[in-house]
Amino acid sequence: EEFSTALRFSPNSAKAHANLATVLIGKGNLEEAQTHFEAALRIDPNNAEVHSGYAYLLERLGRLEQAAAECATAVRLDPRSAMAWYSYGAFLEKHGKPEEAIAQYRQAVKVDPRHVDAHLDLASALFQKGDLQEAKAHYLEGSRLDPKLAQPHNDLGKVFMREGDVPQAIVQFEEALRLHPDFPEAEENLRIAKGSDAESLSQSPR
């Protein structure tokens, strides 16, 4: 209602159209959201944030090639937007292009070294690739930037388990559970770590 009112007062505001489109996506009204994103882009075709939002909508609609093109347009229009780089990376990773996603995440943290999600998703992609040292560095940085997050400690524990450093893995899993006691994955990982022996050292937590 608030954004509909804003649009009535400012029908030529790209921001008002984009804000309403975002609300409509949340309500599942994708076709109506598309109408407002297209209106926003007619008004302000060089707005990177609107292109990123439109990319998300196109992805929801299953129009993946167009969504990728909108992501690329967003970073071209505003290469100083960490969110645009991050969103592009998330899109690429979701659709089976981890190497390209890593490149976009790297740009996101280069533009904004305090972008926690970019650090953590970059770390996750690097971990999946087997680049444990760099993954560890980005998990640690994400954890430093937001010390209340439990997930990075669980993920760090998995890195240490992969490296065979069980005592440090246990420290990380326990810290994850201290921060978030209802965390079944960390509980299971801690169980594996505490029960590990020479044979199960190689058992990687899920």
Tens of pLDDT, residue by residue over 18-31, are 999 999 999 999 99
- Predicted structure pTM score: 0.85
- Give percent above pLDDT 70 in the chain: 90
In the block, tokens 């780089």 appear at 85
C-beta of residue 104 within 8 angstroms of C-beta of residue 73: no
Chain centroid to CA 34: 23
Class of the CATH domain delimited by 1-78: mainly alpha
Strand ranges, E, within 53-185: none
Would you say the CATH fold of 79-146 matches that of 1-78?
yes
CATH superfamily label, 79-146: Tetratricopeptide repeat domain (1.25.40.10)
Q: What is the pLDDT, as a whole number, of residue 12?
A: 78
Domain positions in the chain are 1-78, 79-146, 148-200
CA gap 12, 110 in Å, rounded: 34
CA gap 204, 163 in Å, rounded: 10
Q: What is the pLDDT, as a whole number, of residue 201?
A: 47
Tens of pLDDT, residue by residue over 105-122, are 999 999 999 999 999 999
